[in-house]
Amino acid sequence: MKNYDIIMDMDPGIDDAVALTLALHNSNLNLKLITTVAGNVSVEKTTINALKITNFFNKDIPIAKGASHPLIKKFEDASHVHGESGMDGYNFDKPTNNPINMNAVNALYQTIKNNDKKVILISTGAFTNIALLLTQYPDVKSNIEKIVFMGGSVHSGNMTSVAEFNMFSDPHAGKIMINSGIPLVMVGLDVTKQSLLTNDTLEKIKPLGPVGKMLYGIISHDFDHSDSGTAVHDANTIFYLLHPEAFQTKDYWIDVVTEGPALGATVADVRSAYHTDTNVSVCLKEDQVAFNNWILQEIKKIADNY
């Protein structure tokens, strides 16, 4: 298994918290920086939530606060999904750690440029910080191996019938990222709504000590939790990075709609009718059994250390 230097840009957010938990403890992932963005809840709350998770696990990872609103569109949160705090369902201790004294864009630029090898960006919130980074510091592109992002969908939306929340939150930022020329992997609703964390897996997580109690508390609170399981959307980006063999992907030319009723839609030129080249590797299928086995095994290993 390869070793990756990664940065996570996120809007915790219950499923972001699950993804962060997994990334913090995987020996193949060197998490260099966490950046936060407004999305599920305000950037103040997403930053506090990232601090809560690193504090819970006593991990000293720099956290830089990012954009408080989209590039052009009005900010609309998803507190109906993740609760008022953005991570309801567990009573976290007040974090003793603080964000670094640098904004997310400058922290992203410095961390990426100073790293001794290319960095993989994992993005699980609105793409505002990434768009600002690529616009203000275009030279950074050559230091980014790829961006694995939770967002978009080529079949259906969750904010409208066609738009997924992260892309809907800041479609102009999504378009800048999609057109950046950086290798992109889209872990969208096409797989995250199909490869659910089953309730059987969730019940097996519950008794795994303090870690199981915390994860069970927040996941069972998630609006995307139902009788058939929970869409822990963002956790699928980490599973993809470590186990791409569990996914079926196809390269498409993707464009992002930035106005009108289809705002935030990610449209794939599936017949290559308008573009001969492609810009995104889109995840179309995921092995749900492999995902559940993997996440349970990972959480058991994590829980053994707390």
Sheet with 29-36: strands ordered across = 63-65, 29-36, 4-10, 119-123, 144-150, 184-187, 280-286, 247-252
Q: How many angstroms from the chain centroid is the CA of residue 231? A: 13
233 is catalytic: yes
CB of residue 142 vs Ca ion: minimum separation in angstroms? 27
Helix axes 43-56, 14-25, angle to 10 degrees: 40
Determine which residue in the list 31, 122, 147, 150 makes contact with ligand RIB, applying CB under 6 A: 150
The catalytic position among 25, 80, 233, 275 is 233
Which neighbouring-strand residues pair with 282? 186, 250
CB of residue 146 vs Ca ion: minimum separation in angstroms? 19
First-to-last CA distance in the chain? Answer: 25
Determine which residue in the list 39, 66, 83, 229 makes contact with ligand RIB, applying CB under 6 A: 39
Taking CB positions, which residue lies at the least distance from ligand RIB?
165
How many other β-carbons are positioned within 10 Å of the β-carbon of residue 206?
A: 13
Side chain identity at 163, as an amino acid letter? A
129 binds ligand RIB (CB under 6 A): no
Sorted by sequence, the CB contacts under 8 Å of residue 101 that are 6+ apart come out as none
Return the sign of the alpha-carbon dihedral for residues 170, 176, 180, 186: positive
- CA angle (70 as vertex; 83, 87 as ends), nearest 5: 15
Binding at 258: pick from Ca ion, ligand RIB, none (beta carbon under 5-8 Å per type): none
| Of 14 and 302, CB closest to Ca ion | 14
- Provide the 3-class DSSP secondary structure of residue 256: strand
Binding at 123: pick from Ca ion, ligand RIB, none (beta carbon under 5-8 Å per type): none
Residues 49-88 close enough to bind ligand RIB by CB under 6 A: 78
Element (H, E) at 225: strand 225-226
CB of residue 190 vs ligand RIB: minimum separation in angstroms? 12
CB of residue 166 vs Ca ion: minimum separation in angstroms? 6
CB of residue 152 vs ligand RIB: minimum separation in angstroms? 9
172 binds ligand RIB (CB under 6 A): no
Greatest CA separation for the chain: 54
Determine which residue in the list 21, 26, 40, 180 makes contact with ligand RIB, applying CB under 6 A: 40
Binding at 164: pick from Ca ion, ligand RIB, none (beta carbon under 5-8 Å per type): ligand RIB
Lookup result for tokens 């800048």 = 176
Q: Which residues bind ligand RIB (CB under 6 A)?
A: 11, 13, 15-16, 39-40, 78, 124-125, 150, 158, 164-166, 233-234
Q: Which active-site residues does the annotation give?
A: 233
